[in-house]
Chains A and B, each alone.
Chain A
């Protein structure tokens, strides 16, 4: 009997945690993928795709971070559609979903996994 190897997550270091301003995003380039990372007021971290599906521009990391009914969000700086940071769902158009990625802090470094 052969055993399948367990799929292994790959974590990619992005920047020191202290480089992330609270409630402001930053963009990381990970294996050709643009990932927007955010640190919210309570210290939580989120990673979503940087591409705004409505304009096609890679800009979500530059949106305003806030909350909608308690859910952490970012608003596209192009035409202001609001996305959930936890699920990637566009709260103004729930049919549109953008990717989200696991994110963690290891020894002060923010790490994101895209695969």
Chain B
């Protein structure tokens, strides 16, 4: 009679014993488990806390189970465990153990893991004397644990090392959406953060992070991953994987033919399976083998769909592919991504956060041809045509038929018209994408598209470029557009690429996208000459530098004028003169002023508290710091700023995209101001903040604007069109209502770190310099069409003949 001895009494062990029994195994089956109870459903563990559910599996008749019995050794030669208990076939089903990072204080009272019923009982006991808890680890189990802490009435934090939550299941975009959902439930998420130490004497009092300070908490739950429990196997000399796990073949056999391993402790084909379904399959294969069969485990699909903290998350197939298609709706909190083969025909996998509806269908298409264009599967809010009586706007009880009828009757052409006629979309706004779709179905072109080459808005293109990591115009237009672009979309894409990657604007293919101003790093004037504006941060300049500008202007015969932004503009330079002029300016320590770019222009300043009798803060230093921080930042339109040293506002900060006015206590930040065509006073975003808070807020404001604004939309128009207006903007940049602040901060940090002066880089590169000629076939020849007269002792362009209009 064969004696089967199973070590461990988790779900895998239970399934093995059950399968053996139901298949009529004639030998004996004995289970040794270290937990003080029989096998139970670990997957449903959390319900033990939340609903007090009974998780115990039914007992299996004929199987002998020893609880509270830990196996400490195997003697393979003698075929015994713990020195005395004999076996013919030994099955290791020891599962895995939570990994607890080696941080000081991890053994304090109040520190827990989340694996067994006993763990949960202990957490519940600790929570009785606690008000706040921290979960270390933002993976699947961490989020589940966090939800349990929240259910126990604790103010709950999640600390996750990766830059986003659930890094194994979702990518960065999905993680951001997930984070926002989790935060909406009142949990606090700290991504990109490690743990320095657990604070406390006997009992935990808090958790110290490297850069976010101490999080006060009396309960800490470690959920930083699991490690296969292979210690017994190691002790017995069985083969184990480099990073743990008991090596098994397709028949679940370890390197000792009498010993099998199944479940989470087994390493099959280099893979550990942390989900219960593959563990069950392994148990069944092992049962078949024990009974003389030849079943084989050949790997398992790791697709998952779950609802964590009320958020649907699904991942299926591969987590990467040659091409991918992304749909992101940060407002509704939906993120979907499909990975497809390089010819865009085969579905490889996908990720859904916030709405896993496509999961069921799409999962079954993994590895086969796509049932429709990827964008139709993900980008459109409804994959199939809605029936006429389907409710479109439930707030106002409007059906699709109502909308179509209104479009026909009133010849409506846009969403605004539909809203006015039907009231659909006027309450919560969530049906607006549907309204657009119905308009399109009715043959109306809703055209948020940039131009004939892209049907996307600038903000949509920004998301596509960012999420997909696109670096060239050619890739973008090949995959998302038509034709070869134009003077509208090319500069937009150039600006997006520059905002995201900060490479030199004349590098490679980028050069062909630029407006002539960016192409020659100077401003085209009416007669074909260019003007030059060196950067003078904050308007502060030494006499030496002022003299250099004067000398350069004199030597090249340039018309010279002081600008409104406290710098000096030099006019009338021919293309071939630009490098020589800039060589002298760069040698004297000047940098490009980006007067030619859709970028930060200047940060004006008044003289401030250093000299002024009224000044309360040092406005000049702040202006210089801000100008140096944001110099070269490419944006949907130009950006202007100013800093005033007191409420008298001599720098006119409130007419700027972002203006700062000093107060007794710190700084007031105003945003969305404009001079120009439609003047607008900037609105007060935050009050009396210190300098680091001010800078962080401006960072986020600018990056959020850059992400979401339309082409050539100044901050003033952008702010007026922003849904929820100034209050919403404040929620987003101050309270991180969209969960994107970490991203915005990181993007600005990357900009600051990678800034380089464009003119210096151009002068250092003979290839880039080659284009600075009037004529390719006569590089030394000046353009004969450019001529000047004089006025008030300076040059003035001659009037050119134009076609009469």
Given contacts A54-B802, A56-B802, A66-B485, contact A30 B511 (CB under 8 A): no
A28 and B775 contact, CB distance less than 8 A: yes
Q: How far is the CA of A78 from the CA of B805 in the complex (A)?
A: 16
Is B791's CB within 8 Å of the partner chain A? Answer: no
Q: Which 7 A-B residue pairs are closest in the complex by CB-CB distance?
A: A56-B800, A75-B487, A77-B516, A66-B486, A23-B512, A57-B528, A53-B803
Mark the stretch among B392-400, B543-551, B778-786 that contacts chain A: B778-786
Contact residue among B487, B527, B774, B781 (Cβ-Cβ distance under 8 Å from A64)? B487
Is B515's CB within 8 Å of the partner chain A? Answer: yes
Residues of B within 8 A of A27 (CB): 774-776
A77 and B777 contact, CB distance less than 8 A: no
Closest Cβ of chain B to A47, distance in Å, is 12
Residues of A within 8 A of B486 (CB): 64, 66-68, 73, 75, 82
Is A96's CB within 8 Å of the partner chain B? Answer: yes
Given contacts A24-B511, A66-B484, A67-B485, contact A59 B777 (CB under 8 A): no
Is A29's CB within 8 Å of the partner chain B? Answer: yes
Residues of A within 8 A of B483 (CB): 66-70
Contact residue among A67, A72, A96 (Cβ-Cβ distance under 8 Å from B803)? A96
Residues of A within 8 A of B91 (CB): none
Instruction: Give me 4 other A-B pairs in contact (C-beta within 8 A), A24-B511, A59-B524 excluded.
Output: A28-B775, A34-B783, A53-B802, A66-B453
Is A63's CB within 8 Å of the partner chain B? Answer: yes
Residues of A within 8 A of B485 (CB): 64, 66-67
B484 and A34 contact, CB distance less than 8 A: no
B803 and A58 contact, CB distance less than 8 A: no
Given contacts A67-B483, A67-B484, A80-B487, contact A59 B512 (CB under 8 A): no
Write out, one digit per residue, whether chain B residues 764-779 have a CB within 8 A of any chain A CB (1) or not (0): 0000001100111110
Contact residue among A19, A54, A69, A77 (Cβ-Cβ distance under 8 Å from B805)? A54
Is B490's CB within 8 Å of the partner chain A? Answer: yes
Residues of A within 8 A of B770 (CB): 19
Q: List 29 A-B contacts (CB under 8 A).
A: A12-B777, A14-B777, A15-B777, A24-B519, A24-B771, A28-B775, A28-B776, A28-B777, A28-B778, A29-B774, A30-B777, A34-B783, A40-B484, A51-B785, A56-B802, A56-B803, A57-B785, A58-B783, A58-B785, A59-B528, A62-B519, A62-B520, A66-B453, A66-B490, A68-B486, A75-B486, A77-B517, A78-B526, A96-B803
Is B491's CB within 8 Å of the partner chain A? Answer: yes
Residues of A within 8 A of B520 (CB): 62
Is A103's CB within 8 Å of the partner chain B? Answer: no
Q: How far is the CA of A73 from the CA of B485 in the complex (A)?
A: 10
Write out, one digit per residue, whether chain A residues 1-30 have a CB within 8 A of any chain B CB (1) or not (0): 000000000001111000101111011111
Residues of B within 8 A of A12 (CB): 777
Residues of A within 8 A of B453 (CB): 66-67
How many contacts A-B (CB < 8 Å)? 116
Name A61-106 residues within 8 Å CB distance of B.
Answer: 62-70, 72-73, 75, 77-78, 80, 82, 96
B511 and A21 contact, CB distance less than 8 A: yes
A29 and B778 contact, CB distance less than 8 A: yes
Task: Please give me the residue from chain B that is nearest to A72 by CB atom.
Answer: B484
Q: How far is the CA of A59 from the CA of B520 in the complex (A)?
A: 12
Q: How far is the CA of A64 from the CA of B451 in the complex (A)?
A: 14
Residues of A within 8 A of B445 (CB): none
Q: How far is the CA of A62 from the CA of B801 in the complex (A)?
A: 19
A56 and B801 contact, CB distance less than 8 A: yes
Is A41's CB within 8 Å of the partner chain B? Answer: yes
Is B452's CB within 8 Å of the partner chain A? Answer: yes
Q: How far is the CA of A75 from the CA of B486 in the complex (A)?
A: 8
Query: Count of chain A residues with Cβ under 8 Å from any Cβ of B?
Result: 43
Residues of A within 8 A of B776 (CB): 14-15, 19, 26-28, 37
Name B505-530 residues within 8 Å CB distance of A.
Answer: 509, 511-517, 519-520, 524, 526-528
Residues of A within 8 A of B491 (CB): 64
Residues of A within 8 A of B526 (CB): 55, 57, 78
Residues of B within 8 A of A56 (CB): 800-803
Interface centre among A13, A55, A72, A96 (most CB of B within 10 A): A55
Closest Cβ of chain A to B802, distance in Å, is 4
A77 and B515 contact, CB distance less than 8 A: yes
Task: Please give me the residue from chain A that is nearest to B512 by CB atom.
Answer: A23
Residues of A within 8 A of B524 (CB): 59, 62, 77-78
Residues of B within 8 A of A37 (CB): 776
Closest Cβ of chain B to A68, distance in Å, is 7
Name A28-50 residues within 8 Å CB distance of B.
Answer: 28-30, 34, 37, 40-41
Residues of B within 8 A of A73 (CB): 486
Q: How far is the CA of A82 from the CA of B484 in the complex (A)?
A: 14
Interface centre among B490, B512, B524, B783 (most CB of A within 10 A): B512
Task: Please give me the residue from chain B that is nearest to A66 by CB atom.
Answer: B486
Closest Cβ of chain B to A43, distance in Å, is 12
B487 and A66 contact, CB distance less than 8 A: yes
A55 and B802 contact, CB distance less than 8 A: yes
A29 and B528 contact, CB distance less than 8 A: no
Closest Cβ of chain A to B347, distance in Å, is 30
Residues of A within 8 A of B777 (CB): 12-15, 28-30
Q: How far is the CA of A113 from the CA of B582 in the complex (A)?
A: 36
Q: How far is the CA of A23 from the CA of B484 in the complex (A)?
A: 9
Write out, one digit per residue, whether chain B residues 461-505 have a CB within 8 A of any chain A CB (1) or not (0): 000000000000010000000011111011100000000000000
Closest Cβ of chain B to A18, distance in Å, is 11
Task: Please give me the residue from chain B that is nearest to A57 by CB atom.
Answer: B528
B800 and A65 contact, CB distance less than 8 A: no
Closest Cβ of chain A to B268, distance in Å, is 50
Name B406-456 residues within 8 Å CB distance of A.
Answer: 452-453
Q: How far is the CA of A57 from the CA of B787 in the complex (A)?
A: 11
A62 and B783 contact, CB distance less than 8 A: no
Q: How far is the CA of A74 from the CA of B263 in the complex (A)?
A: 65
Closest Cβ of chain A to B362, distance in Å, is 35
Residues of A within 8 A of B528 (CB): 57-59
